[in-house]
């Protein structure tokens, strides 16, 4: 025999949706911006699924239970995906929709006869599962939308930024060092370069969080020359603050662009957080198998509790104060150094200043073909 509650639900499905919509429009502000068809989206399908769940004429084999679970998951996720596409919907509003639906279902079904404990348990369990499925998909879809927005935004910012950089470089050539206009223009160029780095960091972090990989192209690198080039550019922007100490030249395989990016990031952090009147020293040392690059600044040490979060994304220490940034530079630096099969660590203490230490293996430069490597967020 069929289940009376299942029959009542099937017979009153349209009425339940009308009552649900009325309450949703009264209690959920986002619902006011959508017509009935859009507002209800997959909920009528869910009621059809619940009719089947309440029925006792359908044999509940393991295969049937698995199939019902798949269908429930599909409907709940469809609802969550559609709601995430509306800018005015929040997670709490999505969950409230299901709570209202459960209340309306109980109200309508118990008008003729009380529900049995089994029937109430089925409805409650089914709604809770639907909420979980919808909320999970809502969160995942919202994250995908945010990542897409961030990637699109950062890409679109690159072109006008490149135009600004080229124009500023042309203007800079018209002045000589010591000229007030030269200093102002140089600072403008430095600000553009920092902005470019922040955008690139944001783009790369978004790719890693989305499960994508970053491609690195490896080539023969003279590290002493690379660091010297970085220092020359930094001294141009920061008035001869940087000093190179090197025991000798050393060559290895590296991604020049990305290793330079790591060194520049840590060095500019030393400017922001270190003692303003002390030099910043970049030291290059090596053995037969290992390269060690140390970037040292004087000033207040980084507390031990802050050192533990330095390399986490979107985390900034309390000592950062009012300094601007995404909190991504060191997170990406760590990933880029690990892609070189190296390590990065920090040593900081009272009276000793702060040192970031990059350790890299020496890789034979006999290979003449460029090599690629990928970083994945692990």
Instruction: Give the pLDDT confidence score for residue 60 in this predicted structure.
Output: 52
pLDDT band at 346 (very low <50, low <70, confident <90, very high): very high
Query: Quick one: the chain helix, strand, coil %, rounded to 5?
Result: 60, 15, 25
Distance, in Å, from the CA atom of 312 to the CA atom of 301, rounded to the nearest integer, reads: 19
Of the candidate ranges 16-25, 69-78, 155-164, the one whose mean pLDDT is the lowest: 69-78
pLDDT band at 1 (very low <50, low <70, confident <90, very high): very low
More confident residue, 267 or 57: 267
Q: Where are the beta strands (DSSP E) in the chain?
A: 213-222, 242-246, 251-254, 280-286, 290-297, 343-349, 353-361, 371-376
What mean pLDDT do residues 237-248 have? Answer: 86
pLDDT band at 357 (very low <50, low <70, confident <90, very high): very high
85-110 core/surface letters (b: 16 or more CB in 10 A; e: else) = ebeebeeebbebbbebbbebbeebbe
What mean pLDDT do residues 327-332 have? Answer: 77
Instruction: Give the pLDDT confidence score for residue 57 in this predicted structure.
Output: 52
Distance, in Å, from the CA atom of 333 to the CA atom of 73, rounded to the nearest integer, reads: 40
**356 - beta bridge partners?**
295, 346
Instruction: Give the pLDDT confidence score for residue 322 in this predicted structure.
Output: 46
Domains of the chain, CATH where assigned: 4-146 (1.10.490), 214-376 (3.30.565.10)
Tokens matching residue 117: 């404990």
Strand, coil or helix: what is 33?
helix
Residue 201 has pLDDT above 80, yes or no: no
Residue 63 has pLDDT above 70, yes or no: no
Distance, in Å, from the CA atom of 101 to the CA atom of 103, rounded to the nearest integer, reads: 5
Nearest to 262 by CA among 239, 236, 291: 291
Instruction: Give the pLDDT confidence score for residue 291 in this predicted structure.
Output: 95
Distance, in Å, from the CA atom of 79 to the CA atom of 50, rounded to the nearest integer, reads: 15
More confident residue, 200 or 370: 200
State the alpha helices, DSSP H only, in 210-307. Answer: 223-238, 256-273, 304-307
CB atoms within 10 A of CB 61: 9
Contact between 101 and 20 under an 8 Å Cβ cutoff? The reply is: yes
Residue 326 has pLDDT above 50, yes or no: no
pLDDT band at 166 (very low <50, low <70, confident <90, very high): confident
Contact between 221 and 256 under an 8 Å Cβ cutoff? The reply is: yes
């Amino acid at each position: 025999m069929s289940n009376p509650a299942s029959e009542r639900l099937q017979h009153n499905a349209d009425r339940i949706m009308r009552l649900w919509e009325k309450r949703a429009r009264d209690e959920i502000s986002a619902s006011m911006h959508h017509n009935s068809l859009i507002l209800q989206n997959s909920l009528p399908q869910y009621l059809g699924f619940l009719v089947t769940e309440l029925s006792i004429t359908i044999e509940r084999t393991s295969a049937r239970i698995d199939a019902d679970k798949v269908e429930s998951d599909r409907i709940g996720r469809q609802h969550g995906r559609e709601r995430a596409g509306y800018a005015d919907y929040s997670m709490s509003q999505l969950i409230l929709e299901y709570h209202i639906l459960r209340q309306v279902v109980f109200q309508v079904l118990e008008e003729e006869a009380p529900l049995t404990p089994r029937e109430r348990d089925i409805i409650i369990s089914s709604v809770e599962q639907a909420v979980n499925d919808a909320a999970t998909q809502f969160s995942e879809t919202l994250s995908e939308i945010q990542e897409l927005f961030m990637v699109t935004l950062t890409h679109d910012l690159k072109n006008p930024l490149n135009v600004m950089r080229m124009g500023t470089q042309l203007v800079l050539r018209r002045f000589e060092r010591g000229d007030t206009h030269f200093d102002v223009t140089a600072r403008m160029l430095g600000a553009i370069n920092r902005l470019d780095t922040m955008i690139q960091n944001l783009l790369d972090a978004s790719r890693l969080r989305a499960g994508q990989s970053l491609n690195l192209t490896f080539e023969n690198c003279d590290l002493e020359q690379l660091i010297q080039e970085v220092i020359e550019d930094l001294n141009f922007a920061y008035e001869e603050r940087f000093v190179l100490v090197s025991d000798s030249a050393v060559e290895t395989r590296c991604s020049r662009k990305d290793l330079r990016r790591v060194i520049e990031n840590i060095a500019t952090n030393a400017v922001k957080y270190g003692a303003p009147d002390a030099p910043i020293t970049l030291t290059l040392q090596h053995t037969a198998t290992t390269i060690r690059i140390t970037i040292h600044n004087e000033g207040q040490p980084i507390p031990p509790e802050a050192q533990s979060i330095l390399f986490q994304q979107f985390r900034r220490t309390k000592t950062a104060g009012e300094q601007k940034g995404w909190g991504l530079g060191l997170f990406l630096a760590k990933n880029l150094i690990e892609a070189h099969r190296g390590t990065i660590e920090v040593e900081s203490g009272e009276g000793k200043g702060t040192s970031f230490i990059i350790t890299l293996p020496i890789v034979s430069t006999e290979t003449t073909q460029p090599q690629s490597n990928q970083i994945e967020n692990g």
